[in-house]
Amino acid sequence: MTKPCFLTAAFYKFVDLHDYADRKDALLKLCEQRNVKGLILLAREGINSTIAGSPDDVHAVLSYLRADPLLQDLQHKESWSDKAPFYRMKVRLKKEIVTMGVPDVSPALMAGTYVKPQDWNALISDPDVVLVDTRNDYEYEIGSFQGAINPNIKSFSELPQWVKDSALLQNKLSKKPKVAMFCTGGIRCEKSTAYMRSLGFEDVYHLEGGILKYLETIPPEQSTWQGECFVFDERVSVGHGLIPGQHHLCRACRQPLEDNAEQSPLFELGVSCPRCHGTTSETQKNSARERQRQWELAKARQMPHIGAKMPQA
């Protein structure tokens, strides 16, 4: 059995990058030279990224980043796939590397207590711990930890309001309950636990390395994870050992298809699914149909598609 040829590296770091805008061009140029695809977000508060390519090329980009004293301890998580997880390379400048919309929350200074994957089960088995999944509702839908609370949010920026409105948390606010939070790779947890501490919660914990590190580290027979973990690339979802899962993606809303969605009359490949059918106009659907047609033509011709650049003469 041949080893998958595409290496995916996910990484982030909260650090004061005062010159983050000046870093964009050189970083994009290097990734394009090394044929690395994916997305890198740069902001004053740090860097957040998932990139993929051949192992040598991905590690070349990581080495370039770690040559900077501010990023020399940058940690990353690796996974493998048989097909390219991304089709284009983007480096974007943002106000936040993960958008919460709450000023003066500094994960670099205020984040909660890190809990390693091997210690996570013991923590969340404590009946006094309130376990919160900080991800979006469609991520929770395909998998989460047993007993985790689903805030039912559409985006991470809705989490602060949920915290303020949560009867479970507010009723216990005077007792300062222990709160454990988790997310895909750890970045949302760092920001959410920093926010919780700013509200006066003292015993706040988060899963170091996120769900991905837990699934990579903890054997299935010892795991309290149920289902699969949604990832923001062409793998769609992963299971224990970070093996690509069984879920498919709606190309219109970029969310995982619900069970039996493909049998629904509202499903049209590349155009809509039951979740998003009512949110787009017929004009938008026609545009999606043309995009899907072009994608299928490119695939049949075995040509690059979806934003891939043609080689220079």
CB proximity list for 139: less than 8 A, separation 6 or greater: 133, 184, 229, 230
72-97: pLDDT as tens digits: 999 998 888 888 888 899 999 999 99
Q: Does residue 307 surpass a pLDDT of 60?
A: no
Question: Per-residue confidence at 297, pLDDT binned at 50, 70, 90?
Answer: confident
Residues 109, 45: contact at Cβ < 8 Å? no
Mean per-residue pLDDT for 56-81? 94
Q: Does residue 305 surpass a pLDDT of 80?
A: no
Q: Does residue 306 surpass a pLDDT of 60?
A: no
For 81, the 3-state DSSP assignment is strand
Mean per-residue pLDDT for 301-308? 59
Please name which of 137, 150, 153, 144 lies closest in space to residue 255, comparing C-alpha atoms.
137
- pTM exceeding 0.85: no
The vertex-306 CA angle with 57 and 87, nearest 5°, equals 20
pLDDT value at residue 303: 65
Give the type of residue at 166: S
Mean per-residue pLDDT for 207-236? 92
Residues 130, 175: contact at Cβ < 8 Å? no
Question: Per-residue confidence at 160, pLDDT binned at 50, 70, 90?
Answer: very high
pLDDT value at residue 298: 80
For 213, the 3-state DSSP assignment is helix
Name all domains of the chain by residue range, CATH numbers in brackets.
6-93 (3.30.70.100), 107-222 (3.40.250.10), 248-313 (no CATH)
pLDDT value at residue 313: 27
What residues are annotated to the active site?
A: 183
222-275: pLDDT as tens digits: 999 999 999 887 788 999 998 888 888 888 888 888 888 889 999 999 899 998
